[in-house]
Amino acid sequence: MQPALAFIRRNRLAAATAGGALIALAVAVASIVFLGGGGATSAAPDASPSAGPSSTPVASMTATASATPSATPVRHYGILDGAEMTAEEWAARKDLLPLAIMMDNTPNSFPHSGLEQADLVYEAFVEGGITRLMAVFWRHEAGLVMPVRSARTPFVIWANELGALYGHAGSASTVNDANAAGQIIEWGVKDMNAFSPEANTGYHRDLGRYAPYNLATSTKKLREIATALGFLGPSTLEPWKFRDPGDPPIAGAKAEGIEVDFQGSRYSWQLIQWKWDPAAKAYARYQFGGPHIDAQSEKQLKFSTVIVMLAPGQVVDEAGHVLLDQLGEGPATVFTGGKAITGTWKKPERESRTRFYDESGQEIAFERGPIFIEVIGPQSKLTVKATAEELPELPKYEPPPPGAGPIAPDDTAPDDPGTTPAATASPSPTATAIPTGAASPSPVASPSPAATASPAAETPSATGSAATTAEPDASATPEPVSPSATASP
C-alpha cells in the first residue's frame, strides 16, 4: 500500500499546482481502486466533473484534510441556580447583579407574591421564634414581590456574600451585633432601603392588604434604581457546583418526603413539608396546612434542591434580635434529585460563600434549578421519609392563641414622612402617602383590608436610632435557640 499512498500524494500536489484538478482527482481514485485491491468489483472512474460515484468520497477526503475543527458550543448557566440558559437569555442578564429582597413569613404574609421567580430562597429565625424569608433573583424578573419587610443581620450576611442588591424596608438598629442598619453601611452592602429617599420610589403600599404586610415592589423597579445609584454588575459570584447529564447517579438515600419543624413542637404555623414531584423533578412546598401557592401565578412553589442546615443562634437583647452561628461549619443535609446527601456546610469568613460538602469532603453538586435553604436551630426537628406518603399528616392551620403566636417586629419609624412608600393599589406617582407611627395590627388576624380601619405602615428605622422591636412573650413562645439542646439536620 505504500507506493499507492505516495502516488496519491503526488497526484494531489499536481492537482493543486495545475488547472486540471478534476482530472487529477479522478486519476487518484482510480489508483486507489486498482492498487488497493478494488479489482473488477469497482466501477471505472468517470472523467465527468459531475458524474460518477467516485466523485463524492474524493471531495469528502479533500474537505476533511483542509477543514478547521469546529469549536465546542458555549453553554450558559444561571449564576445562582445553575439552570441552563439560551445565548439570548445570557446576553440579556450577564451583566446583572443578584437581587435579594426580604419578605415576611407570618400568617398575615400569605399569600406571598414573587417567590416562584426566585432562583434562591433563605428561611431563618428572627424575633419571637418566627421565620423570615430572603428571596434572591437573577435569572427571572418578578413583576410583584410582596410583602417586603425589614433587614436582620443573618440575612445581611447572606446578601453580602452574594454581592447582591439588597431590598428591604428598614433595618434593626441596635447597640449590639444585631445592628443590621449599621452593618449594611459598614460592609458596603448595595442598599435598596424602602425608607431611604434614594430607593423610596421603588416600593408602594397595596391597598388590598393592610400594613405592614402590604409593602410591594418589583425586580424591574429596583434594578432601575440600582442603576441610578451606580450599583452595576457584572457579578463576581463563584457559583455552586451543579450536575450535568452523564454524571454518576446521586449517591444518597431516597428522600421524597421532608418535614422541617422549626420549634420541634409541630405548631401548624412553624411546620414546613416538602414532597418530591417526579414529573417536575423538584420538591413541592407546603406551609400553613396546605400547598404554598404563589399569589401571582397561583401555582405551588417547587424547588429543585432543598438544603437544611443547622446554624445555632442566640437572642442578644430584650427586643429578641437573633444572631446565628453562620461562620465556621456545621451539619447540613442536601435534598436533590429525590435523594438525601448528609454532609457539612462551611463558611470560613464573612465575605466567603457558604458551601456544602458530602461526608467524603467533596463539594456537593446540585440538580440544576431553584434552591431553597432552611436554616434551623438546635430545637428544630428534621423528619425525612423515603416517600412523601410516609410523612405525618400536615396539621390543619389554626392561628395561635393570643400571646402565643408569632410577633411581628415593629421597628422605629423614619424621621421624614416623605420617605414612606405611597399607598396604592398599583404604583402611582400621585398616590397619597400612608401616615407612619401607627400600631401594627395583630399578626394573627386575617390578612384582610377590613381588619383595621386605618392601615398602619411598617415602621423600620432608616436613621440609625435604637429599635423598638416588639418583645416576644417569652413565657408563651419558645425562643428560637436553646444552648443546651442538640440537633442536626
pLDDT in tens, 412-442: 344 343 455 665 553 332 232 222 222 232 2
Q: Which residue has the higher pLDDT, 281 or 39?
A: 281
Q: For the residues 65-90, what does the mean pLDDT come to?
A: 84
pLDDT value at position 303?
98
Distance CA 192, CA 200 (A): 8
Grade residue 107 by pLDDT with cuts at 50, 70 and 90.
confident
Yes or no: say if 283 and 258 are a contact pair by the CB < 8 Å rule: yes
Decide if pLDDT at 450 tops 60.
Answer: no
Decide if pLDDT at 456 tops 60.
Answer: no
Distance CA 354, CA 371 (A): 13
Distance of CA 269 to the CA centre of its chain: 24
Decide if pLDDT at 305 tops 50.
Answer: yes
DSSP string, 315-342: E-STT--EEE--SEEEEEEEEETTEEEE
Decide if pLDDT at 309 tops 90.
Answer: yes
pLDDT value at position 72?
77
Yes or no: say if 103 and 294 are a contact pair by the CB < 8 Å rule: no
Decide if pLDDT at 162 tops 80.
Answer: yes
All CATH 3.50.90.10 domain ranges in the chain, comma separated: 84-390
Query: Cα-flanking dihedrals φ and ψ of residue 274, to 5°?
Result: -125, 130
Q: For the residues 20-43, what does the mean pLDDT come to?
A: 37
Yes or no: say if 351 and 157 are a contact pair by the CB < 8 Å rule: no
Average the pLDDT over each of 11-20, 166-175, 371-380 and give the range with the smallest value. Answer: 11-20
pLDDT value at position 278?
97
Query: Cα-flanking dihedrals φ and ψ of residue 376, to 5°?
Result: -105, 165
Supply the mean pLDDT for the chain: 77
What proportion of the chain, given as a percentage, has pLDDT over 70? 67
pLDDT value at position 79?
98
Q: Give helix 21-35 / helix 55-66 axis angle, nearest 10°.
A: 100
CATH topology of domain 84-390: YerB-like fold (3.50.90)
Q: What is the pLDDT of residues 178-236, one digit of tens each?
A: 999 999 999 999 999 999 999 999 999 999 898 889 999 999 999 999 999 999 999 99
- DSSP alpha helices (H): ranges in 99-167? 153-162
What proportion of the chain, given as a percentage, has pLDDT over 90? 61
Decide if pLDDT at 326 tops 60.
Answer: yes
Q: Which residue has the higher pLDDT, 165 or 34?
A: 165
Q: What is the CA radius of gyration of the chain?
A: 31
